[in-house]
């Protein structure tokens, strides 16, 4: 894991909130964001567009490639999750029936990573890509960081 970034924005992000970092150009990723906005009734999560300055700093901090944003990032209670673990952790945090999605963690790591990597590499071709990052509307603006 990367060393702690001295940038106070990154440190505050990691320590101060439960966060989902998502590819703002990916239709699949933006769909997941919309799902989370709808089902996160406790408004536990804050969101960061990967292509934003803060998103770039966070990817760099974690040693992730920012050129293609091929892993989503979820931070819950200061713990960092990527790939399929990020999805499972976010769904588990929603509670209720959504917690059942954490069962994907039972997949052997090589299988889980292989599946995640296939979807990540082909997400634009299969699900589409927008021309510009999602711009939060005023009613959800306070849920976004950066």
Domain ranges of the chain: 8-130
Q: Is the pLDDT of residue 14 over 80?
A: no
Cα 99 from chain centroid (whole Å): 17
Q: Which CATH architecture has domain 8-130?
A: 3-Layer(aba) Sandwich (3.40)
pTM of the model: 0.85
Q: In which band, very low, low, confident or very high, does the pLDDT at 2 lie, cut at 50, 70 and 90?
A: very low
Q: What is the CB-side half-sphere exposure of residue 43 using CA atoms within 13 A?
A: 6
Distance separating alpha carbons of residues 48 and 22, to the nearest angstrom: 6
Radius of gyration, CA atoms only, the chain: 15
| Residue 136 near residue 49, CB atoms below 8 Å | no
Distance separating alpha carbons of residues 53 and 57, to the nearest angstrom: 6
């Amino acid at each position: 894991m990367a060393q702690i970034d001295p940038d106070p924005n990154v440190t505050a992000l990691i320590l101060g909130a439960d966060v989902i970092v998502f590819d703002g150009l990916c239709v699949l990723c933006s769909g997941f964001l919309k799902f989370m906005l709808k089902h996160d009734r406790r408004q536990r999560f804050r969101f960061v567009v990967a292509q934003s300055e803060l998103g770039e700093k966070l990817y760099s901090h974690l040693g992730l490639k920012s050129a293609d944003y091929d892993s989503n990032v979820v931070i819950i209670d200061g713990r960092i999750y990527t790939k399929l673990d990020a999805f499972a952790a976010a769904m588990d945090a929603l509670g209720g029936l959504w917690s059942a999605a954490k069962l994907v963690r039972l997949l052997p790591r090589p299988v889980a990573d292989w599946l995640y990597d296939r979807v990540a590499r082909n997400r634009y071709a299969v699900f589409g890509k927008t021309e510009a990052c999602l711009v939060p509307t005023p009613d959800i603006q306070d849920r976004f960081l950066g």
